[in-house]
Amino acid sequence: MKQSILIGIAGGTGSGKTSMAKNIVRDFNPDQVVIIEQDSYYFDLKDIPLDARHHHNFDHPEAYDFELMKQQIRNLIDGKTVEIPVYDYKTHTRSNEVHRVTGHKIIVLEGIMVLFDPELRDLMDIKIYIQTAPDIRFIRRMTRDLKYRGRTVDSVINQYLDTVRPMHEQFIEPTKQYADIIIPEGGHNSVVVDLFKTKVTSLLKQLAK
C-alpha cells in the first residue's frame, strides 16, 4: 500500500536540481522528508583499472543501476526500509557504507536521468524538469568538481566536451517532454516553489485518507 509520495526532479548537470529539491521540502517536517540523489546508483567500477575509470561515460543511461533504483524506490513508497549505496566520486566505487532510509512521507529523487526510465516515471506523483543555460550549468559543474570531487580543470573540460554535452543533448534534454512542469533556473523561482509546496501538502492529505 502506498505510504509516500515521490517527486522526480531532472535536468542537466548544474541546472539547480538540488536547490529546487531542498526548497520544495524546506518547510515540511524533516523527519518526513528524504532527498535521494540518482548518482548514488552509479554502477561500482571497482573491477576497472583506476585510470580507465576517469574516462568512463557517467552521463549515459547505462552508467546507472536503474533496476536497484526502482526496486528501492518502490520499497520506500510502500513504507519499507532500504539501504541506499554511498558512492565515492574520487575512486568511482561504492563505499562500504550505506544510507539507511525508512518512514518518510515525501521522497524526492533528483538527478539527470530520473525522467529517462518509463517505469521510474510511473512511480512519480510530480515530475519536474529544470532548464538552465548551458554556460551556467558548466560553471556550476566546474566549481563543484574542483571543490568536492578532486578533479582538475582539464579533466572537467575534457569530460564536458567528450560526454557531458553530447549525452545531455541525446538523453537528458529530450526527457523534459515527460515533465509535469519545466522550470527555468531551478530552485530560485519562489512562485513555482510555493505552488509545489501546496501540491505536496494536498498529496499528503490524500495519503492520510
Three-class secondary structure of residue 42 per DSSP: strand
Does 185 score more than 80 pLDDT? no
Domain boundaries, the chain: 5-192
- The tens digit of pLDDT for each residue in 106-145 reads 999 999 999 999 999 999 999 999 998 899 899 998 998 8
Instruction: Give me the pLDDT at residue 82, please.
Output: 97
As a whole number, the mean pLDDT across the chain is: 91
Short-list 57, 161, 157, 158, CA closest to 113 = 57
Higher pLDDT, 155 or 189: 155
Of the listed ranges 7-16, 37-46, 119-128, 181-190, the one predicted with least confidence: 181-190
Which residue carries 551556467 as its cell? 136
Rounded Cα distance between 175 and 95, Å, is 30
Compute the radius of gyration of the chain from its Cα atoms: 17
Instruction: Give me the pLDDT at residue 207, please.
Output: 87
CB atoms within 10 A of CB 31: 9
Q: Which CATH architecture does the domain made up of 5-192 adopt?
A: 3-Layer(aba) Sandwich (3.40)
Instruction: Give me the pLDDT at residue 77, please.
Output: 96
pLDDT band at 208 (very low <50, low <70, confident <90, very high): confident
Does 177 score more than 70 pLDDT? yes
